[in-house]
Structure 1
Amino acid sequence: MNYGIESIFKSYLEPREVYTGGKNIPASNKKIYKLSSNENPLGASPKAIAALKTAAEQVTVYPDQTDIRLREALVMDFNGQLAADQFICANGGSEIIDMLLRAFINEGDEVIYSNPSFLPYSVFSRWYGANPFDIPLLKPNYDLDVEGILNAITNKTKVIFLTSPNNPTGTYIPKDVLEGFLNGIPKNIIIVFDEVYRHFADAEDYVTALPYVKTGHNIIAINSFSKTYGLAGQRIGYCYTTAKIANYIRQIHKPFLLPITSIEAAIGALNDELFVEKTVKTIHAGRKYLMYEFEKLGITYWPTQGNFFIIDPPIPEFDFTDRLMKDGIMVRPVSQFGALGKVRITIGDQESNEALVHALKKIKPHT
Structure 2
Amino acid sequence: MIKEQEADSTFFKSYILEDSTYKGGGKKIVLPEGVTVHKLSSNENPLGFSDKVKMAIVNATENLSLYPDNTDARLRAALVKDFSNELSTDHFVTANSGSEIIDIISKVFLSEGDEIIVSQPCFLPYTAFTRWMGATAINVPMTTDYDYDLDGILSAISKKTKLIFLASPNNPSGNYIPQDALENFLSKLPTHVIVVYDEVYRHFAEATDYTSALPFVNKGYNIIAVNSFSKTYGLAGLRVGYCYASLKLSNYMRKVCKPFLLSSLALEGAIAALEDTHFVERTVRLVRTERAYVLNGLQELGITHWPTQGNFVLIDPPIADLEFTALMEQQGIMVRPVGVFGAPGKVRISFGVREANTAMLAAIKSLLNS
Residue in 2 aligned with 1:174? Answer: 178
CA offset at residue 3 of structure 1?
Answer: 8.6
Gaps in structure 2 of 5+ consecutive residues: none
Q: How does 1:217-232 map to 2 (within 5 A)?
A: 217-232=221-236
Matched, 1:19 2:22: yes
Q: Answer yes or no: is the 8 Å Cα contact 1:307–1:346 preserved in 2.
A: yes
Tell me which residue corresponds to 2:78. 73
Alignment partner of 1:6 is 2:44: no
Alignment match of 2:340 (pick from 297, 319, 336): 336
Residues 196-235 of structure 1 show CA distances to partners (whole Å, capped at 9, x for unaligned) of 0000000010000000000111100000000000000000
Once the two structures are superposed, the pairs formed by residues 346-361 of structure 1 within 5 Å of their partners are 346-361=350-365
How do residues 141-290 of structure 1 correspond to structure 2 at under 5 angstroms? 141-290=145-294
2:134 is the alignment partner of 1:91: no
Measured in 2, the distance between the counterparts of 1:355 and 1:198 equals: 27
Report matched runs for 1:98-117 at 5 Å.
98-117=103-122
Q: 1:35 matched to which residue of 2?
A: 40
Q: In angstroms, what is the RMSD of aligned CA positions? A: 1.3
Higher mean C-alpha displacement, 23-32 vs 152-161: 23-32
State the match for 2:139 in structure 1: 134
Offset at residue 65 of structure 1 (A): 0.8
Give the paired residue count: 364
The offset of 1:15, in angstroms, is 2.7
Q: For residues 316 and 284 of structure 2, what CA distance do their matches in structure 1 show?
A: 25
- Which whole-Å CA distance do the structure 1 matches of 2:139 and 2:62 have between them? 47
Shift in Å at residue 17 of structure 1?
A: 3.9
C-alpha separation in 1, matches of 2:135 and 2:142: 21
Are 2:326 and 1:312 aligned? no
Is the contact between residue 297 and residue 365 of structure 1 (CA under 8 Å) also seen in structure 2? no
CA distance, structure 2, for counterparts of residue 221 and residue 13 of structure 1: 26
Task: Note closer, same or farther for the CA distance 1:314–1:50 as it changes in structure 2 (3 Å cut).
Answer: same
SS in 2 for 1:188: coil
Q: Is the 8 A contact 2:229 2:235 kept in 1?
A: yes
Q: Which runs of 5+ in 1 are unaligned?
A: none
* Percent identical residues: 53
Deviation string 1:118-176 (CA, Å, 9 cap, x unpaired) is 0110111110000111111111x111111111111111111110100000000000111
**Partner residue of 2:55 out of 27, 50, 58:** 50
TM-score (norm 2): 0.96
Using the TM superposition, give the Cα deviation of residue 5 of structure 1 relative to its aligned residue in structure 2, in angstroms: 2.4
The one-letter amino acid of 2:148's match is L
Q: Distance in 2 between matches of 1:304 and 1:59?
A: 41
Provide the C-alpha distance between the structure 2 equivalents of 1:330 and 1:251, rounded to a whole number of angstroms.
41
Code of the aligned partner of 1:93: G
**1:233 match: secondary structure:** coil
Q: How high is the TM-score relative to the length of structure 1? A: 0.97
